[in-house]
Amino acid sequence: MKRFGWLNQKRIIKGVLNTPVTIVLLALIVGFMGYYIGYIKHQWDHARSESRNEKRINNFMIHMFQTEDSQDADSSDLTAKEVLEKGISDAETLSDEPVVQSRMFLSIGKAYSGLGMFEKAEQTMNAALNIRRKFYGDKGLEVALAYKALGDLNQTEMQWDQSVFDLRKSLKLMLKSGQASQIQIAGVMTNLAASMRDYGKIDSAEYYVRKAIQIDKKVYNASNPEYLKTEEILAYVLRKKGEHQEAGEIYRRILQQVQKEKNPDLDLLSRTADDLAYMEKIDDDYNDAIAHYRQALAAATKFYGQQHPTTLMIMSNLASALYANKQYGETENMLRQVAVVTEKHYGENHWRTATGWEMLGKFYLFRAEDSKAEMVLRKSVRIYENTLGHTHPWTAVAEGLWAASLFQLNRTEMAESLYKDSYGNFYNLIY
């Protein structure tokens, strides 16, 4: 069965392959098509309706690539944001086809997440979940998969409590439905373990990741990237428990295996090298930490792009290792690059931008470059105030750092006023 007309394929592909949206579009196509390869194996009773759904999604995909005048328009002008916004507009017209609509929203949400546009990802994924809960009730595999997507997103955003809630819900629904594959169950267990680890539930985290490994061993060989990803989470949990030797052995084994591959899994490579570098840094092995952070950064930049939060986080981690190794010039350059790239991608009024400038300000403060510190930290405070509010704890922390820089510059009166304000905000939050 032809999924696209040949003329449409030719026109679409010619205009899109060399644009910044290629990865997003291919991810959407793979997501949709991959879903159907598995789904059409379900009961024959659903085949006719699924065929209609597939046609609707294929038409939707074609329309996402097209401009209003596809004969004259230059599709290379499209950006990832424009393509996804167009997809949302199209999906919103399908309220009478909730199954198709929810799949579109969920795939678009995952694409937003891949681009680091987490607020839009959350909105779109929540829309998919609400549609599925209304259509299926709070049960079944489809609802479970929506919860998993949100749990994974909240994990990326470091919202550990919400991630644990979503992934627990997903796992419960999968087990109850009897529709989930063992691989799907293991995937939820693995991600739940990672969130539980960061939420402070270490024993539960280890329990779930070892259960996932037991399942994966029955499906994958020891060199399969999916199996290695689960092992990477086990090492992540063991590192938190202080079992650095075993964790380090796992990390190095993963890196050795991934680097053997002709087309290595760059996401796995970046995460593993980053985690190993962190462990080496806290063990004061700065040279090896720096080398592994550079390896992680190269992989993340290639996989995610420079502006993605994961890449920026690794850049910040590398800066901290460089600072510990007394490589101050490169530390400053790295932190300034983080701040500039973040501001360019998210805009001046975004909390991530404030965080980028705050890190650079702390560097200047620790290096006794007080005038530079005061200027940068003042900017950070203003952005936090505009985006998170004056009483937010992150604003209070940045305000305290700004006050410290003012004290160093003998601007005592203003510094004392800021300290009182910062302390007052913390006091109100606690009591």
- Alpha-carbon distance 297 to 313, whole Å? 9
Band the pLDDT of 185: cuts 50, 70, 90.
very high
| Amino acid type, 130 | N
Question: Where do the structural domains in the chain lie, given as residue ranges?
Answer: 1-40+47-137, 311-431
| Least confident range of 105-109, 219-223, 416-420 | 416-420
pLDDT at position 66 is 44
Q: From residue 403, how far is each of 141, 149, 243, 374, 417 by CA, in Å?
A: 53, 41, 40, 8, 8
What is the DSSP code (8-state) at residue 40?
Answer: T
Residue, of 140 and 87, whose pLDDT is higher? 140
Token pair in block for residue 344 = 């360019």
pLDDT at position 428 is 57
Residue, of 40 and 66, whose pLDDT is higher? 66
Report which secondary-structure segment, H or E, holds 29: helix 22-39
Band the pLDDT of 3: cuts 50, 70, 90.
very low
pLDDT over threshold 80, residue 34: no
State mean pLDDT over 239-263: 93
How many alpha carbons fall within 13 Å on the CB side of residue 6?
0
Residue, of 165 and 3, whose pLDDT is higher? 165
74: left (phi over 0), alpha (psi -120 to 50) or beta: beta
pLDDT at position 426 is 56
The 10s digit of each residue's pLDDT in 88-121 is 888 888 888 899 899 999 989 998 888 888 899 9
pLDDT at position 424 is 65
Q: How far apart are the first and last CA of the chain?
A: 65
State mean pLDDT over 71-86: 61
pLDDT at position 423 is 67
> Which residue, 88, 40, 36, is CA-closest to 60?
88
> Which residue, 385, 378, 424, is CA-closest to 405?
378
Helix 141-156 and helix 118-136, axial crossing angle in degrees, nearest 10: 160
Contact 404, 365 (CB under 8 A): yes
State mean pLDDT over 46-74: 45
- Alpha-carbon distance 164 to 151, whole Å? 7
Give the range with max mean pLDDT: 27-36, 199-208, 388-397: 199-208
Report whether CATH 1.25.40.10 matches the domain 311-431: yes
Alpha helices of 305-369 — where are they, by DSSP H?
A: 309-324, 328-346, 351-366
3-state secondary structure 181-224: CHHHHHHHHHHHHHHHHHHCCHHHHHHHHHHHHHHHHHHCCCCC
State mean pLDDT over 233-255: 94
Residues 6 or more apart whose CB falls under 8 angstroms from that of 120 comprise 84, 109, 112
The 10s digit of each residue's pLDDT in 294-338 is 999 999 999 999 999 899 999 999 999 999 999 999 999 999 999
Token pair in block for residue 237 = 């949990």
State mean pLDDT over 24-50: 40
Mean of the per-residue pLDDT values of the chain: 83
pLDDT at position 143 is 96
Contact 250, 234 (CB under 8 A): yes
Residue, of 56 and 349, whose pLDDT is higher? 349
- Alpha-carbon distance 38 to 35, whole Å? 6
**DSSP-derived secondary structure for 261-294:** SSS--HHHHHHHHHHHHHHHHHTT-HHHHHHHHH
The 10s digit of each residue's pLDDT in 112-156 is 888 888 899 999 999 999 999 999 999 999 999 999 999 999 998
Residues 6 or more apart whose CB falls under 8 angstroms from that of 431 comprise none
pLDDT over threshold 90, residue 30: no
pLDDT at position 13 is 31
pLDDT over threshold 80, residue 28: no
Residue, of 174 and 37, whose pLDDT is higher? 174
- Alpha-carbon distance 192 to 154, whole Å? 11
Contact 202, 161 (CB under 8 A): no
pLDDT at position 83 is 82
